[in-house]
Amino acid sequence: MAATVLDGLKIRDEIQAELAGEIAALKARGITPGLAAVLVGENPASQIYVRSKVKACETLGLYSEKIELPASTTTAELLELVEDLNRRDAIDGILVQLPLPPQIDTRRILEAVDPAKDVDGFHPTNVGRLVAGRAGLVACTPAGIMELLRRYQIPIKGARAVVLGRSDIVGKPMALLLLHQHATVTICHSRTRDLAVVAREGDILVAAMGRPALVTAEFIRPGATVIDVGMNRLSTEDEVRQAFHDPAEALRKLESKGSVLVGDVQPEDARERSGAYTPVPGGVGPLTIAMLMSNTVRAAKLRREALSESRVASSE
């Protein structure tokens, strides 16, 4: 039986259709959720990501601002901008595109964002809420993966889940979200012994280590659900030949486009061995932006509720 392709584009469209109704209801109350995207320097990948996020705002009718700063920006200058955005009522979500230039203290910047506007879900307050299982703004990629699993009715309760990668952005929040849905979770990383053996225990396998085609057939339990978070750009013939068993099509793409995308999972092995898998591209990527939009709408609602409660409390 052929593996099910978990279509991130399809799920993105479902999420955005639902958000359109929520946004229309907010606009009827005179509220237009607003997102500020801050880009420092001229990293080409970051420019593409920010452009995609601003375009998604336009598609859904959200207010957005793209703020571009030179690569020479200091920590103090960026902190001043973040504080200004924290104060502005038209801005419900603040996104500081990573990575930042090396002279900027990334942790100080992320911690300066108002937790109520932290639509990336990176602030320690929101991370703490996630650990405690309390409602809050959750990192977009893991939240998108949970939506994908839910909408494709992949069983989580009681499942063995293995997360490859322990980053603050994907691995750790992914493990917590699965744990809160009653999966038994193992987190692996570069120093895990017998990595393939541990990975093969997973009914659900999430690969987020940033290494092209690392996860081969020996990592995948037959029939497992394989979620590939990786987005690795290959630009040489040798890289393509190492990543693909049959590289002919990928080599044609390399010749015509100059690069080929591959995830952290060997794509042919995922197709042949899994029960369901996410393709690259078209799997997890579209969901990250969809959940950023969802977090922005959620932040707008939560902020208005908090302001309303504060006014009621002050009048009593």
Task: Report how far residue 97's alpha carbon sits from residue 40's, in angstroms, rounded to the nearest whole number.
Answer: 8
Q: Which of 16, 92, 97, 114 is catalytic?
A: 97
Q: Which of 53, 114, 117, 269 is catalytic?
A: 53
Q: Say if residues 270 and 277 touch (Cβ distance below 8 Å).
A: yes
Task: Report how far residue 144's alpha carbon sits from residue 3's, in angstroms, rounded to the nearest whole number.
Answer: 21
- Give the pair of three-digit tokens for residue 250: 């990928």
How many Å is the Cα radius of gyration of the chain?
20
- Give the pair of three-digit tokens for residue 139: 């990192």
Task: Report how far residue 186's alpha carbon sits from residue 276's, in angstroms, rounded to the nearest whole number.
Answer: 20
Closest CA to 274 of 227, 230, 213, 220: 220
Which parts of 70-153 are beta strand (E)?
A: 93-96
Closest CA to 164 of 235, 213, 110: 213
Residue 53 annotated to the active site: yes
CB within 8 A of 290, min separation 6: which ones? 11, 12, 15, 16, 19, 56, 144, 147
The residue type of 22 is E
Closest CA to 271 of 239, 241, 229, 226: 226
Task: Report how far residue 179's alpha carbon sits from residue 158's, in angstroms, rounded to the nearest whole number.
Answer: 10
Q: Which of 92, 114, 118, 120 is catalytic?
A: 120
Q: Say if residues 178 and 185 touch (Cβ distance below 8 Å).
A: yes
Catalytic residues: 53, 97, 120
